[in-house]
Protein backbone atom coordinates (compact mmCIF):
# COMPACT_ATOMS: atom_id res chain seq x y z
CA UNK A 1 0.00 0.00 0.00
CA UNK A 2 1.49 3.34 -1.02
CA UNK A 3 0.93 6.75 0.48
CA UNK A 4 1.25 10.17 -1.13
CA UNK A 5 2.82 12.83 1.01
CA UNK A 6 0.32 15.70 1.26
CA UNK A 7 1.50 19.26 0.69
CA UNK A 8 2.21 21.34 3.78
CA UNK A 9 -0.59 23.33 5.35
CA UNK A 10 -1.53 26.42 3.39
CA UNK A 11 0.44 25.37 0.29
CA UNK A 12 -0.49 27.11 -2.99
CA UNK A 13 -0.81 24.68 -5.88
CA UNK A 14 -1.34 25.77 -9.52
CA UNK A 15 -4.74 25.04 -10.95
CA UNK A 16 -4.95 21.48 -12.27
CA UNK A 17 -6.84 22.74 -15.31
CA UNK A 18 -3.82 24.79 -16.45
CA UNK A 19 -3.95 27.29 -19.34
CA UNK A 20 -7.20 27.41 -21.34
CA UNK A 21 -7.28 26.17 -24.90
CA UNK A 22 -5.83 28.58 -27.44
CA UNK A 23 -8.65 30.56 -29.07
CA UNK A 24 -8.90 31.05 -32.81
CA UNK A 25 -8.13 34.76 -32.49
CA UNK A 26 -4.72 34.00 -31.01
CA UNK A 27 -4.00 31.30 -33.59
CA UNK A 28 -4.84 33.70 -36.40
CA UNK A 29 -2.70 36.46 -34.84
CA UNK A 30 0.22 34.05 -34.60
CA UNK A 31 -0.19 33.06 -38.26
CA UNK A 32 -0.29 36.73 -39.28
CA UNK A 33 2.96 37.30 -37.37
CA UNK A 34 4.54 34.43 -39.32
CA UNK A 35 3.24 36.08 -42.50
CA UNK A 36 4.78 39.41 -41.49
CA UNK A 37 8.09 37.64 -40.87
CA UNK A 38 7.95 36.02 -44.31
CA UNK A 39 7.09 39.34 -45.98
CA UNK A 40 9.99 40.99 -44.18
CA UNK A 41 12.34 38.33 -45.54
CA UNK A 42 11.04 39.04 -49.03
CA UNK A 43 11.71 42.73 -48.40
CA UNK A 44 15.27 41.84 -47.39
CA UNK A 45 15.83 40.16 -50.74
CA UNK A 46 14.20 42.95 -52.72
CA UNK A 47 16.11 45.64 -50.82
CA UNK A 48 19.46 43.92 -51.35
CA UNK A 49 18.64 43.35 -55.03
CA UNK A 50 17.65 46.98 -55.53
CA UNK A 51 20.79 48.21 -53.74
CA UNK A 52 22.98 45.99 -55.92
CA UNK A 53 21.52 47.61 -59.05
CA UNK A 54 21.83 51.15 -57.69
CA UNK A 55 25.62 51.31 -57.61
CA UNK A 56 27.26 54.61 -56.53
CA UNK A 57 28.56 55.17 -60.06
CA UNK A 58 25.14 54.75 -61.70
CA UNK A 59 23.38 56.80 -59.04
CA UNK A 60 25.95 59.59 -59.32
CA UNK A 61 25.48 59.69 -63.08
CA UNK A 62 21.71 59.95 -62.60
CA UNK A 63 22.05 62.85 -60.18
CA UNK A 64 24.45 64.66 -62.47
CA UNK A 65 22.15 64.14 -65.45
CA UNK A 66 19.38 65.85 -63.48
CA UNK A 67 21.54 68.92 -62.93
CA UNK A 68 23.08 68.27 -59.51
CA UNK A 69 26.62 69.45 -58.86
CA UNK A 70 29.43 66.89 -58.82
CA UNK A 71 29.97 67.17 -55.05
CA UNK A 72 26.29 66.91 -54.18
CA UNK A 73 25.78 64.08 -56.67
CA UNK A 74 28.59 62.05 -55.14
CA UNK A 75 27.23 62.49 -51.62
CA UNK A 76 23.64 61.70 -52.63
CA UNK A 77 24.73 58.66 -54.63
CA UNK A 78 26.66 57.23 -51.67
CA UNK A 79 23.69 57.68 -49.38
CA UNK A 80 21.26 56.16 -51.89
CA UNK A 81 23.46 53.11 -52.42
CA UNK A 82 24.09 52.41 -48.73
CA UNK A 83 20.50 53.23 -47.77
CA UNK A 84 19.20 50.19 -49.61
CA UNK A 85 21.39 47.82 -47.59
CA UNK A 86 20.50 49.58 -44.35
CA UNK A 87 16.81 49.14 -45.14
CA UNK A 88 17.39 45.45 -45.89
CA UNK A 89 19.15 45.07 -42.53
CA UNK A 90 16.20 46.58 -40.66
CA UNK A 91 13.83 44.28 -42.54
CA UNK A 92 15.90 41.29 -41.43
CA UNK A 93 15.73 42.37 -37.78
CA UNK A 94 11.96 42.78 -38.03
CA UNK A 95 11.65 39.35 -39.67
CA UNK A 96 13.44 37.71 -36.74
CA UNK A 97 11.32 39.67 -34.26
CA UNK A 98 8.08 38.68 -36.00
CA UNK A 99 9.01 34.99 -35.95
CA UNK A 100 9.92 35.10 -32.25
CA UNK A 101 6.68 36.89 -31.40
CA UNK A 102 4.67 34.40 -33.48
CA UNK A 103 6.05 31.50 -31.42
CA UNK A 104 5.50 33.05 -28.00
CA UNK A 105 2.13 34.62 -28.81
CA UNK A 106 1.02 31.12 -29.77
CA UNK A 107 2.20 29.92 -26.34
CA UNK A 108 0.27 32.62 -24.50
CA UNK A 109 3.18 34.75 -23.27
CA UNK A 110 1.84 38.08 -22.06
CA UNK A 111 5.09 39.93 -22.84
CA UNK A 112 4.87 38.71 -26.44
CA UNK A 113 1.30 39.98 -26.70
CA UNK A 114 2.29 43.43 -25.45
CA UNK A 115 5.36 43.52 -27.71
CA UNK A 116 3.23 42.46 -30.68
CA UNK A 117 0.91 45.40 -29.97
CA UNK A 118 3.84 47.81 -29.88
CA UNK A 119 5.59 46.40 -32.97
CA UNK A 120 2.28 46.11 -34.81
CA UNK A 121 1.43 49.72 -34.02
CA UNK A 122 4.83 50.86 -35.28
CA UNK A 123 4.41 48.76 -38.43
CA UNK A 124 1.01 50.34 -39.08
CA UNK A 125 2.37 53.87 -38.65
CA UNK A 126 5.43 53.18 -40.81
CA UNK A 127 3.28 51.47 -43.44
CA UNK A 128 0.84 54.36 -43.71
CA UNK A 129 3.65 56.91 -43.81
CA UNK A 130 5.58 54.89 -46.38
CA UNK A 131 2.63 54.42 -48.72
CA UNK A 132 1.60 58.06 -48.37
CA UNK A 133 5.18 59.21 -48.96
CA UNK A 134 5.49 57.09 -52.09
CA UNK A 135 2.23 58.42 -53.47
CA UNK A 136 3.20 61.99 -52.60
CA UNK A 137 6.61 61.61 -54.20
CA UNK A 138 5.06 60.36 -57.40
CA UNK A 139 2.56 63.22 -57.49
CA UNK A 140 5.12 65.93 -56.72
CA UNK A 141 7.98 64.61 -58.83
CA UNK A 142 7.59 67.40 -61.36
CA UNK A 143 7.20 70.29 -58.91
CA UNK A 144 10.90 70.94 -58.40
CA UNK A 145 13.22 70.56 -55.44
CA UNK A 146 16.84 71.58 -55.12
CA UNK A 147 17.69 74.62 -57.19
CA UNK A 148 18.95 73.67 -60.63
CA UNK A 149 17.88 70.02 -60.31
CA UNK A 150 15.20 68.63 -62.61
CA UNK A 151 13.28 66.44 -60.16
CA UNK A 152 11.13 64.82 -62.82
CA UNK A 153 14.20 63.83 -64.82
CA UNK A 154 15.92 62.59 -61.66
CA UNK A 155 12.99 60.30 -60.86
CA UNK A 156 13.05 58.94 -64.41
CA UNK A 157 16.82 58.38 -64.28
CA UNK A 158 16.64 56.50 -60.97
CA UNK A 159 13.64 54.45 -62.04
CA UNK A 160 15.53 53.44 -65.18
CA UNK A 161 18.13 51.76 -62.96
CA UNK A 162 15.49 49.49 -61.39
CA UNK A 163 13.27 46.81 -62.99
CA UNK A 164 9.78 48.06 -63.79
CA UNK A 165 8.08 45.46 -61.58
CA UNK A 166 9.99 46.37 -58.40
CA UNK A 167 7.90 49.40 -57.47
CA UNK A 168 4.60 47.54 -57.90
CA UNK A 169 5.78 44.55 -55.89
CA UNK A 170 7.04 46.80 -53.11
CA UNK A 171 3.69 48.60 -53.00
CA UNK A 172 1.74 45.32 -52.79
CA UNK A 173 4.00 44.01 -50.02
CA UNK A 174 3.50 47.25 -48.11
CA UNK A 175 -0.29 47.02 -48.33
CA UNK A 176 -0.35 43.34 -47.27
CA UNK A 177 2.02 44.02 -44.36
CA UNK A 178 -0.11 46.96 -43.23
CA UNK A 179 -3.29 44.86 -43.22
CA UNK A 180 -1.55 41.95 -41.46
CA UNK A 181 -0.18 44.21 -38.72
CA UNK A 182 -3.62 45.74 -38.24
CA UNK A 183 -5.09 42.25 -37.97
CA UNK A 184 -2.57 41.24 -35.28
CA UNK A 185 -3.34 44.29 -33.14
CA UNK A 186 -7.11 43.79 -33.41
CA UNK A 187 -7.13 40.01 -32.89
CA UNK A 188 -4.98 40.18 -29.74
CA UNK A 189 -7.25 42.91 -28.34
CA UNK A 190 -10.48 40.96 -28.82
CA UNK A 191 -12.14 39.54 -25.64
CA UNK A 192 -11.70 35.84 -26.63
CA UNK A 193 -7.90 36.36 -26.56
CA UNK A 194 -7.73 37.68 -22.98
CA UNK A 195 -8.05 34.46 -20.93
CA UNK A 196 -5.29 32.71 -22.87
CA UNK A 197 -2.72 35.27 -21.69
CA UNK A 198 -3.71 35.23 -18.02
CA UNK A 199 -1.51 33.40 -15.55
CA UNK A 200 -3.02 30.30 -13.94
CA UNK A 201 -4.32 31.32 -10.53
CA UNK A 202 -3.00 29.21 -7.66
CA UNK A 203 -5.60 27.43 -5.52
CA UNK A 204 -5.54 26.99 -1.78
CA UNK A 205 -4.92 23.45 -0.60
CA UNK A 206 -6.42 22.89 2.86
CA UNK A 207 -4.22 21.32 5.50
CA UNK A 208 -4.43 17.53 5.71
CA UNK A 209 -6.69 16.05 8.34
CA UNK A 210 -5.89 12.87 10.23
CA UNK A 211 -8.30 10.64 12.09
CA UNK A 212 -8.24 11.01 15.85
CA UNK A 213 -6.86 8.17 17.87
- What is the 8-class DSSP label of residue 209? -
The better pLDDT of the pair 142, 67 is held by 67
Number of domains in the chain: 1
The verdict on residue 197 lying in a domain is no
The verdict on residue 16 lying in a domain is no
* pLDDT computed for residue 16 by the predictor: 47
pLDDT over threshold 60, residue 1:
no
pLDDT band at 138 (very low <50, low <70, confident <90, very high): low
- Write the CB contacts of 62 (distance below 8 Å, at least 6 apart in sequence): 77, 154, 157, 158, 160, 161
The verdict on residue 33 lying in a domain is yes
> Which of 18, 22, 17, 20 has the alpha carbon at shortest distance from 106?
22
* pLDDT computed for residue 143 by the predictor: 43
C-alpha span between 97 and 95 (Å, rounded): 5
pLDDT over threshold 50, residue 37:
yes
The better pLDDT of the pair 163, 62 is held by 163
**Domain residue limits at 167:** 21-189
Interior angle at CA 90, CA 85 and CA 91, nearest 5? 95
Name the pTM for this structure. 0.75
> Percent of the chain scored above 90 by pLDDT?
38
**Segment 169-174 long-range contacts (CB within 8 Å, at least 24 positions apart):** 169/46, 170/43, 170/46, 171/131, 171/134, 173/39, 173/42, 173/43, 173/46, 174/127, 174/130, 174/131, 174/134
The verdict on residue 37 lying in a domain is yes
Sign of the torsion angle spanned by Cα atoms 161, 167, 173, 179: positive
The verdict on residue 196 lying in a domain is no
pLDDT band at 189 (very low <50, low <70, confident <90, very high): very high
The verdict on residue 77 lying in a domain is yes
The verdict on residue 194 lying in a domain is no
* pLDDT computed for residue 65 by the predictor: 74
pLDDT band at 115 (very low <50, low <70, confident <90, very high): very high
Amino acid sequence: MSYTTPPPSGYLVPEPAGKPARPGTVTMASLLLYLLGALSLVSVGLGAYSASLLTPEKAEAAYKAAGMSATDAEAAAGFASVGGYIGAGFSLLFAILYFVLAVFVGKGAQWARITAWIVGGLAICCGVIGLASQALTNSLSGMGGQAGVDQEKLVRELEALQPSWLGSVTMVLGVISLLAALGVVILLALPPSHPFFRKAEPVWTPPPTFPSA
